Structure 1
């Protein structure tokens, strides 16, 4: 059962930085960021860094939320994805995040073996309404143009009402650990000079993004928001039970109840014949008014139960808050008085410093005038010296150029002599080769003559 030591919600700031391990308990890396699907109000994907694991240290990887299982008291998430799947995964550079759309994200989900959350929702709606699945999904894909923002970029955004008046800002977004939904946005509002302000848990569906103003519009009537009970930072709503009355107060059905109703209806219509389906739809149409009235009555009961508090306790609490606000106001007044005194002292110091600065400026101008005269004389001497050095360099360059031409001429003559000697060497080698051939021929003739003489002597 959910309770404060076993919460159903955690802030995005708490989740960010948590380490990630595999089923063998090996440390893989950590969660660097949570990317939020602004339209759907849920985590589109978690951006993980894998450190030195498998040599993936310089990249981030988009991982479906369903692939991560929280080990709450270890501040750790278990990633149950095979090692070989991670080895083949395509990450992205930390300084070059992809321009994510649902086509890109669908490929990522499919690669890791998970069905994209928007397709699952579309299929559930398809089963409920009796439409052909492929046609329904096609229309869903054609009409969607999602916006993905990091949790960090959402935090700190201002919140305005329908008329554009400033209400406060988003201090934190709380994540439902079970399904990755944004359970609520914590909006700061009220207080004197930021002191004594409360936080208000606002359903994500109550917001719409105004990109050009970098703000979120809160689509809730002013009187409803004024009657809302906030919470302080030491007591955040951390369970669905705590949050249920808040959703009802703002006129929204808790998202987990809507999901349960959708699942129940989907399960009920499975396996129906066409006639049974038509009959059921007709019964639902006739009973719609009654169902709406029952739903409103139930919501009103839940709202009253969520807001129940005795008048005496409420008066006591309000009195305590009033006294606390008065104490804080008095403290703030003392602080402002002290700041005014410090401001006067700083102004006096500033005046003295200005007078001192004016005197130094005058001395500086006089020094500059004297230094300019000396500087001009010194520069003239330096110019004359440089001109003399330049003339010497030019004469030296002319001398070197003449020397280079003479050396070039000698080098050309040497090349010609070398070529002539090479030609003579080759001619001598050729003559030597001819002489060797002639000597070989004479040797052969001598041997032939000796052989004939020996033959003639043997005959005689």
Structure 2
């Protein structure tokens, strides 16, 4: 059963991404880093970059909870969460549970997103895992998640899968966050008033990046209750992980005519929609106004 991230009763598909603070808060998205090569532990599991479901845009909420299979088609485990680097917008890791099938009990393991491929005949996510390697891989108890900024666990993961995992973020600041904790994050305007919340995040696993977030605006911003795609650069992260996001775009710059109803999501991979949303996102600078003013 997939996790339900909603705290208030609303009939929606599972949801996902981000967090904020004040105008001086660090920016959420810097220039997108180059992609590094996977470490030796996952090299054999890496498939061609553009393959099947991985090459298509997808809602992060529909990736969390998805089954993962081994190359023979047998169920291996499932994705419990995604880890995003807020400094670069890069999808850093997928956190997996193996359900005890490999003798690892209730431990969770972080694998680079580029370690996954899809099966030849369908869109199943496939991961090649060697039992001996898994026994040596850094894992953690599912009831005791490691800290995401300073915990030594993530340094162990980097060493195990290859130093390129963090180096791939380039010069951008590294701030890891669980995708499930970003879903439903409140978003405030620059004056601290409510603007809405993050409904979901659209990601591309082949490109290992967040494409855009979908913001569900409050009634005062969108009387018709529309949701709108925005780039990460339109938001600033909070000083503390439990803080709210800050929207760094004036209301008059938001074209609500481009919005859509929560129960009528567009086909994310329709060529016409991709061109339309791509053109809309291009209207935003790669850095937010708060970034331009300095941290």
TM-score bracket for this pair, using the shorter chain length: 0.5 to 0.7
Corresponding residue number in structure 2 for 1:221? 250
Deviations 1:171-209 (A, max 9, x none): 111111222211111101254899841111010122111
- CA distance in 1 between partners of 2:250 and 2:112 (Å): 36
Matched, 1:112 2:161: yes
Deviations 1:223-252 (A, max 9, x none): 211566212342336245343112123334
TM-superposed deviation, 1:104 = 4.2
Matched, 1:91 2:91: no
Q: Number of aligned pairs?
A: 229
Q: Secondary structure at the match of 1:20?
A: strand
Corresponding residue number in structure 1 for 2:228? 200
- CA distance in 2 between partners of 1:96 and 1:68 (Å): 25
Tell me: CA distance 1:193–1:178, structure 2 relative to 1, closer, same or farther (3 Å). closer
Deviations 1:301-350 (A, max 9, x none): xxxxxxxxxxxxxxxxxxxxxxxxxxxxxxxxxxxxxxxxxxxxxxxxxx
Corresponding residue number in structure 1 for 2:181? 153
Q: Secondary structure at the match of 1:53?
A: coil
Matched, 1:210 2:238: yes
Specify the structure having the higher radius of gyration (Cα).
1
Matched, 1:249 2:283: yes
- CA distance in 2 between partners of 1:182 and 1:70 (Å): 19
TM-score by length of 2: 0.67
Corresponding residue number in structure 2 for 1:304? none
- CA distance in 2 between partners of 1:66 and 1:76 (Å): 15
Aligned match of 2:98 in 50, 55, 74? 50
TM-superposed deviation, 1:13 = 1.3
Deviations 1:72-129 (A, max 9, x none): 985531113433212321210011111234764343144235721x41353xxxxxxx
- CA distance in 2 between partners of 1:71 and 1:183 (Å): 24
Tell me: CA distance 1:219–1:70, structure 2 relative to 1, closer, same or farther (3 Å). farther
- Higher strand content, 1 or 2: 2
- CA distance in 2 between partners of 1:67 and 1:6 (Å): 11
Corresponding residue number in structure 1 for 2:66? 18
Matched, 1:231 2:260: yes
User: Which is further off, 176-185 or 106-115?
Assistant: 106-115
The answer for unaligned runs of 5 or more in structure 2 is 1-49, 288-295
TM-score by length of 1: 0.45
* 8 Å CA contact retained: 1:12, 1:172: yes
Aligned match of 2:190 in 143, 154, 162? 162
* 8 Å CA contact retained: 2:188, 2:195: yes
Q: Secondary structure at the match of 1:54?
A: coil
Q: How does 1:270-309 map to 2 (within 5 A)?
A: none
TM-superposed deviation, 1:11 = 1.1
Q: Secondary structure at the match of 1:61?
A: strand
* 8 Å CA contact retained: 1:63, 1:109: no
After TM superposition, which residue ranges in structure 1, 4 or more long, deviate above 6 angstroms? 192-195
User: Which is further off, 172-181 or 75-84?
Assistant: 75-84
- Higher helix content, 1 or 2: 1
- CA distance in 1 between partners of 2:112 and 2:201 (Å): 19
Matched, 1:40 2:68: no
Tell me: CA distance 1:191–1:97, structure 2 relative to 1, closer, same or farther (3 Å). same
